[in-house]
Structure 1
Amino acid sequence: MPPSKILSGFAVIFGAFLSTAASAEDATSDGTFTLERVEADLWRAEYCFDEPVDAVAFTRPLEGMRESHWTSVSDEMKLVHENGAAKLVSKNGSAFRCGSVDVKTYTALPPKNYYAFSPFSTGGMSVYTGYFTGDVQRDGTRQPFNLEAQFKGLPGEQVLGYDLSNLVHQYVYFGGEQLHRFDGLTAVIDPAIPTSARDVIVGSIPEVNAELSTLFNLKPSEPYLVYMAGGELDAFDGTSIKGGTQKNQILFTLKGRGALRIAEEDPTFFAKLTAHEVIHLWQRDIWPGLGDDFPWMHEGSADALAYELMRRTGHYSLDQYENAWSSAQQKCAERLEISSVHLGPAKGNFRVVYECGALVNWLMGALLNPSEPGQGIMTFWQSMAALPAEARATGESETLFFTQLSALGVTPVKIERLRSFLDEQPGNPAAAIEALKSDLGVTGP
């Protein structure tokens, strides 16, 4: 199947992935994890626990990859697959302390998920470690991992990551690229990345951080670690451009000859994508549970804020800014032909949470500031950032959104009308959006 055309990044798929509940005592299973690059496209992941376990469960769903690219190293053990997850067990059912799997490099994009491996043209590789996380089964209970980690590259390779001493969700780079230090970031840049894309990404990060620092009165605690991978830019004629974030990290993966054309022809594309990803890092710090319930809260809000920052930083002219918002409304209507906003992820219609989520933010901004909806968006998110830490950490972020809208003076009738839109799949989406705006008393975008 040819790679799909992906023109936007996302950081968290359906919010934070939650593993199965731990035991009643909230115990953890301690031990060690080693990920070694055995060959250019072969990796070995070894787990050793302080106490015997009945199974190692890889709980983050990953359609197809584990079945085709993961194998048990030991003939006495096997991988059992179910609904995209997997577990490593002894064939005879006995407990064990150590187990290993061999993993072949898999560079396709798993549906609604992160790239597991992002290749660099020089042989380097960014590896997403989230697929190696999970929990263990012991005596009928499940306990999360708490594993010290070690990462080993091929001879002469350096290994870079956010936290190389523990198994946590992060991007780990294996390779020989030099580190480049810029204002606000340290970067590993594939030489195949077009200069135009590289320069926009590097320049946009401090611009966006400066705007967000002013808005939220915060500053990043340390420079971001940014990877730009372009190992498959000449692999096919299509386009796959994806951004993703983990704690203090951004990964940009560019694939296909179409990505080269976008870099040359659309100077705003990478600025907007970069703004979206940087906003995700801020969201993670300020509202840790944002989007855990409904991903439009995370992705749609990031797009909405990105449009505003593109205008504030000068990357959008007034016409481009207005066209971006008009396009969001049009694309929202198109996506509502497939599913409602709430059911989008379950229906494979994930783009609806971006387009309609951004539109909901614009409508909210228009309710708060009819003459300047963009400023209304900023006012709202500043008020959300000013809430107590406990309130900001909630996983019920949609409820928090509408509660805060009420606190800012929007009437219950209008709040309920906006809320109900998220559940609707109207027969004529474009007309339904116009009716919604009429009911809310707003015009535009």
Structure 2
Amino acid sequence: MPLPIRSSCAGLLFVVFMGTAHAADPAPLRTELTLTHIATDKWRADYVFAEPVTAIELGPQIGTYRKQAWRLLTNGVDLVVQDNNESLRSNKPLTQLSVEISRYSNFELDQYAPINHFSDGGADFYLGFLYGSLGQSEHKRDMAVTLHLQGLTGETVLAPSKPGADLAGYAYFGPSKPARMGNANVIIDPLAPAWLRDTIADTTAKVSQFYEQAFQRKLTDTPLISVAMIGFDGEPGSISIKGGVVGGGVVYRLQGRGLMEDHPKRRAFMAGLVAHEMAHVWQNNLARGGIGENDPWIHEGGAEAIMLEAMRATGIFTEEMADQYAQKLLKECDDLKDDVTIYRGFYACGFKRFNSYPMAPVPLWRAMLTRSEDSDESYSESMIQAILREQPATQKAQQHSEHLQ
């Protein structure tokens, strides 16, 4: 997928990207999509198609999101659900279509949150649920989208770093201005407790700078890390954390009474999470290649291994804390019988594999980044083995103790 083009003018942000199409498929259809924040809890999505279409195939149903929050403004268009997939269908060809979208706070398991609301009225709006393939006679065509984002008067509007058909990302609308921390921009909900703000700020600044030095490359764009606080309800000590890396940035949705309690273990957990997600940002920091659809243990176990090296090198984890973290993962993998095909195995057993290689995680991933970008290959076990065969054996303990200046 080509890199996005982004510019800004009078508060209006444009993001241009191409849909993914196979060579034998019809060419993507040019589509202008304007998402406007029209009121505190309302947006309007206006589509303009270069040629008439009769449908937008939106993909899997997202709970009650579209049924509950979407109001079709174009006559003759209906929201249709079939085989758990949703589409907008018109009774005649059209070149324009508009939808009003209202506040929605639900979260569906294994799906991106459609909208994350901040306590000050800001919102992260997931763009991916606006995209789909276009129906045109007997053909389906991908979208080649030019996206315009328009906020309320005086509002901050931020586009994702890397939007696209498969990596849509979140757009931020709200009163907050991002704060620069290391090589990332960060927006933290004003409701967030001081310990959480301090942990996120300290970890983001230190770890992002470590990754830049460790991988010897700068980020192609400045990622946005946004943290929305949903509330402090639930059982004592409970914490719910949802989100992750999407669109080149990191989005968090936090909830639970446990967030009100400052404790070293909570700080360590949150710091590790921030460093893990930032590792994913760096895994994707390529013009081509990178993460594919296979071998999730490489991505997740690799992020755990990279994270732990960063936490050691920056001093966020003491050597004892880092060793305890590693041993916990190794034991978990032993209990899972080294199965890298199940969810927790992606993390624990993926980490165990990276921990066992004769190259330490940082130089190995540095080589993987270079090889992937040079060859346009996705990360894979065969790539790792090829790199290991080409590198002279080194003392792993010595690599692990290396501190970048």
Q: For the Cα contact (< 8 Å) 2:149–2:159, is it kept in 1? A: no
Q: For the Cα contact (< 8 Å) 1:54–1:139, is it kept in 2? A: yes
Question: Which one is further off, 69-78 or 204-213?
Answer: 69-78
RMSD of aligned C-alpha atoms? 3.2
Distance (whole Å) between structure 2 residues aligned to residue 216 and residue 248 of structure 1: 17
Give the Å deviation of 1:215: 2.3
Between the two proteins, what is the percent identity of the paired residues? 27
5 Å-filtered alignment, 1:131-210, equals 131-162=129-160, 169-210=168-209
Distance (whole Å) between structure 2 residues aligned to residue 123 and residue 54 of structure 1: 36
What are structure 2's unaligned runs of at least 5 residues?
A: 1-17, 394-405
Query: Would you say 1:115 and 2:99 are equivalent positions?
Result: no
Letter in 2 for 1:42: K
Q: For the Cα contact (< 8 Å) 1:60–1:133, is it kept in 2? A: no
SS at match of 1:46: strand
Give the Å deviation of 1:165: 11
Q: For the Cα contact (< 8 Å) 2:41–2:103, is it kept in 1? A: yes
Letter in 2 for 1:66: R
Structure 2 counterpart of 1:351: 344
SS at match of 1:59: strand
5 Å-filtered alignment, 1:291-330, equals 291-330=292-331
Q: For the Cα contact (< 8 Å) 1:243–1:273, is it kept in 2? A: no
TM-score normalised per structure 2: 0.80
Aligned pair in 2 of structure 1 residues 281, 307: CA closer, same or farther (>3 Å)? same
Distance (whole Å) between structure 2 residues aligned to residue 341 and residue 184 of structure 1: 32
Aligned pair in 2 of structure 1 residues 409, 186: CA closer, same or farther (>3 Å)? closer
5 Å-filtered alignment, 1:233-244, equals 233-237=231-235, 238-244=238-244
Distance (whole Å) between structure 2 residues aligned to residue 21 and residue 182 of structure 1: 37
After superposition, give the CA deviation of every residue in 1:159-203 in whole Å (9 maximum; x if it has no partner): 222469998722211111233334423332211112222222222
Structure 2 counterpart of 1:443: none
Letter in 1 for 2:344: R
Question: Which one is further off, 294-303 or 247-256?
Answer: 247-256
Distance (whole Å) between structure 2 residues aligned to residue 352 and residue 122 of structure 1: 39
Give the Å deviation of 1:291: 4.0
Give the Å deviation of 1:383: 2.5
Give the Å deviation of 1:240: 1.4
Distance (whole Å) between structure 1 residues aligned to residue 319 and residue 162 of structure 2: 44
Structure 2 counterpart of 1:30: 30
Letter in 1 for 2:384: F
Structure 2 counterpart of 1:429: none
Give the Å deviation of 1:303: 1.3
Distance (whole Å) between structure 1 residues aligned to residue 262 and residue 19 of structure 2: 38
Distance (whole Å) between structure 1 residues aligned to residue 340 and residue 164 of structure 2: 36
Give the Å deviation of 1:104: 3.5
Aligned pair in 2 of structure 1 residues 142, 289: CA closer, same or farther (>3 Å)? farther
Q: For the Cα contact (< 8 Å) 2:182–2:209, is it kept in 1? A: no
Structure 2 counterpart of 1:380: 364
Letter in 1 for 2:380: S
Q: For the Cα contact (< 8 Å) 2:298–2:379, is it kept in 1? A: no
What are structure 1's unaligned runs of at least 5 residues?
A: 1-17, 345-349, 370-375, 411-445
Q: For the Cα contact (< 8 Å) 1:31–1:50, is it kept in 2? A: yes
Give the Å deviation of 1:26: 5.1
More strand by share: 2
Aligned pair in 2 of structure 1 residues 42, 300: CA closer, same or farther (>3 Å)? same
Letter in 2 for 1:404: I
Aligned pair in 2 of structure 1 residues 250, 271: CA closer, same or farther (>3 Å)? same
After superposition, give the CA deviation of every residue in 1:15-64 in whole Å (9 maximum; x if it has no partner): xxx98855725511112112233443333322220100121122366455
SS at match of 2:96: strand
